[in-house]
Amino acid sequence: MKIRKNFRGFYWCDHLRTYEFDEINFKSKIILYFGNPKLKFLDKLSKRKKVYVDFEEPNRLAFYSSSSKNLDLWKGGNYDCQFDKIFSICPYTSEWFNDLNNNKKREAIFHPTNENLIYKKNNLKKDIDVIYTGNIHGLKKDILATMLEPITKFNYRIVSSFGDNKMVTDKNISNEKKFELIARSKISVIHQLLFPDRNLIEKFLKIKDIRKNKAFEHIDDGIIPQMKSRPFEAAWSKTLILIKKDPFNVIENYFEPNKHFLYFEEHELEKKIKYIINNYEDFRHITGAAYTHVKENYSRTKFLEKVSLSS
């Protein structure tokens, strides 16, 4: 397998930078591309199948809505036609593209995690009650700030790459340090949503047939789903996944509720955290099951197997 990656425009501690697929030396006849899709090294003369993985959809759609004259973006236009197969973390967008183009070129996929960075840390003492990793920024940052405020009543950490919210305890740290903090935490509070501002919503709504994409069923409420790497990172770290229930619940494509993770409703977050911390041994079976699950199904090798066998 040949690996092509382009991190132009990505911040320095983006989790994609940790994947290091090259070190696995996986045998395959495909060329795997990920990162920025505006790739200048597309091996056009190669007879190998070209496979791209999109870790940003459905959010990425807004960036292309303004670059097409007729907004009918993906019928032979933009980067889509350059690849033989495209995997995406958004199952709805994959389905939508396939329906638009009357093919099965796209397929949903999970987030891999560099297990080598986790193995060194997942037996650390759990001396942090609760952690949240993700940025609190943008015009609607109050939504996240309000949701996360209850965790500040505990021994907590909030890891953010940028933003000036006062609740952030660890800003712009390395992925290695982030993984250490997750491994030291009993609970990882997670959401699987994006909160686009009005300008972004207007861009989305200009896209032809966008409302046929199930990811945009609640766009009028200011939310769209995005499967994030956080549940996988927490599971590898033997940290309890406590995830916000939402209208999409895309996590259930990969994990089973009450077996691998727990849901919370916004109004009950503080109460749930308190109960889990006070009875943490009672939840060891969930963190253990989640760890076994990702180890058996969502390693980097399993990821490379999937993109190769399905291509």
Q: pLDDT tens across 232-246, in order?
A: 999 999 999 999 999
Separation CA 246–CA 80 (nearest Å)? 30
Alpha helices in 123-280 (DSSP H): 141-148, 175-183, 198-205, 230-236, 269-278
pLDDT given for residue 121 in this prediction: 62
Query: Cβ contacts of residue 140 below 8 Å, gap of 6+?
Result: 195, 197, 222
Question: Which stretch of 21-25, 42-46, 140-144, 297-301 has the lowest confidence by average pLDDT?
Answer: 140-144
- Lowest mean per-residue pLDDT among 15-24, 176-185, 198-207: 198-207
pLDDT averaged over every residue in the chain: 88
Residue from 218, 185, 184, 187 nearest 204 by CA: 218
pLDDT at 39: 63
pLDDT of residue 266: 82
More confident residue, 259 or 97: 259
Cα–Cα nearest to 257, from 289, 225, 282, 229: 289
Q: Which residue has the tokens 């907590």?
A: 156
Q: Which two tokens stand for residue 149?
A: 């405020």
Q: Is the pLDDT of residue 210 over 70?
A: yes
Query: How many Å apart are CA 307 and CA 28, to the nearest integer?
Result: 10
Tell me the pLDDT tens digit for each residue of 140-188.
446 788 889 999 999 999 999 877 788 899 998 999 999 999 999 999 9
For the chain, the structural domain boundaries read 2-113+299-309, 115-192+227-297
- Asked if 175 and 18 touch (Cβ cutoff 8 Å), the reply is yes
Q: For 5-21, what is the mean pLDDT? A: 88
For residue 185, the number of C-alpha atoms closer than 13 Å in the C-beta half-sphere is 30
pLDDT of residue 79: 65
- Residues ≥6 apart with Cβ < 8 Å to 104: 98
pLDDT tens digits, one per residue of 271-307: 999 999 999 999 999 999 999 999 999 999 999 999 9
pLDDT at 229: 95
State the pLDDT at residue 119: 64
For position 60, what pLDDT does the model report? 82
Cα(200)–Cα(205) distance, integer angstroms: 9
Residue of higher predicted confidence among 46 and 240: 240
Residue 94 has pLDDT above 60, yes or no: yes
Which among 24, 59, 53 has a CA at the least distance from the CA of 39? 53
CB 11 within 8 A of CB 162: yes
% of the chain surpassing 70 pLDDT: 89
d(CA 281, CA 230): 22
Q: Which amino acid is at 32?
A: L
Of 286, 293, 289, nearest to 186 by C-alpha is 286
* Res. 71: pLDDT tops 80: no
Stretch among 40-49, 97-106, 301-310 having the lowest mean pLDDT: 40-49
pLDDT reported for residue 213: 95
- More confident position, 202 or 306: 306
Q: How many CA atoms lie within 13 A of 187 on its CB side?
A: 27
Res 75: pLDDT? 46
Q: pLDDT-based confidence at 69, cuts 50/70/90?
A: very low
To which H or E segment does residue 91 belong?
Answer: helix 91-101
Cis peptide before 247 (omega within 30 of 0): no
Query: What is the spatial distance between Cα 92 and Cα 148, in angstroms, rounded to a whole number?
Result: 27
61 pLDDT band, cuts 50/70/90, is: confident
Question: What pTM was estimated for this model as a whole?
Answer: 0.92
Instruction: Give the residue-averaged pLDDT of 28-41.
Output: 81
Residue 310 phi, psi (nearest 5): -90, 0
Return the percentage of the chain with pLDDT > 90, whole number.
Answer: 63
CATH superfamily of 115-192+227-297: Glycogen Phosphorylase B; (3.40.50.2000)
